[in-house]
Amino acid sequence: MALRMNGITGTYPTPSLAKQYSYSRLDPILTIGLSTDAGTVQKTIDVKALLEKAWQSVMRKSENKMCNNYFKTLFRKKTLKEVLNEGDITLHMLEPKPGKNWSVVPYANASGREIGLNPELFVDEDADVVACTLVHELAHVAGASTNAGAPQAEAHAAELALMSCSCQRQYDKDIVGRNLTIGTPGGQRYV
């Protein structure tokens, strides 16, 4: 299994989503404008280094017995390590489709073994937040529901993975698969 980063480690096809947002190539170095009291400030982020650090954390989590035991409770009955060993995971950037704005774009989305990430996720350059977001999305790959209308235990299964995978700081008891901006004690996340 390898981590493939579309636009960074190669160019990979993007899945077609029936959503208001789509997958696209990641920028290895992302420069974004941040609004401050003094005006707009340009910030440069080494996306490649951030994603590599986050992925190393995910790999360490895949060795954690408690994390693997939780993943075995999901629909596919596979550990996180087994899910990762099934094949490559490809990361993409998420962006709004033409005519839409960024408010429709979640922090992350899983489509099979493809995971899209909102570039806002990179602003704080916190590899732990990125890693825990990836754990949430990998729980979907392992069979956690994406149906926010499902019963609470089912709809909350991907977020609950954070409690067993050393991501308690990012966990939010109210996450049930919706596209929301969430302020958590460990920082802000979109899911």
Q: pLDDT tens-digit profile of 126-175?
A: 999 999 999 999 999 999 998 877 888 888 999 999 999 999 999 988 87
For the chain, give the DSSP string.
--EEEBTTTB-------SSSEEEEPPPSEEEEEEEETTEEEEEEEEHHHHHHHHHHHHHHHTT-HHHHHHHHTSTT---HHHHHHTS-EEEEEEEEPTT--GGG--SEEEETTEEEE-GGGGTT--HHHHHHHHHHHHHHHTT----TTS-HHHHTHHHHHHHHTT-GGG--TT-SS---EEEETTEEEE-
25 — pLDDT class (breaks 50, 70, 90): very high
Give the span between the Cα atoms of 120 and 2, in whole angstroms. 24
**79-122 tens-digit pLDDT:** 999 999 999 999 999 999 999 999 999 989 999 999 999 999 99
Residue 18: partners with Cβ closer than 8 Å, 6 or more residues away: none
Examine the pLDDT at 186 and tell me if it is beyond 60: no
Lowest mean pLDDT across 8-22, 57-71, 164-178: 164-178
**Which has the minimum average pLDDT: 9-13, 66-70, 121-125, 179-183?**
179-183
State the residue for tokens 């069979």: 143
Q: Enter the pTM of the model.
A: 0.89
φ and ψ at 47, to 5 degrees? -65, -40
pLDDT at 177: 60
Domain boundaries, given as residue ranges, for the chain: 3-190
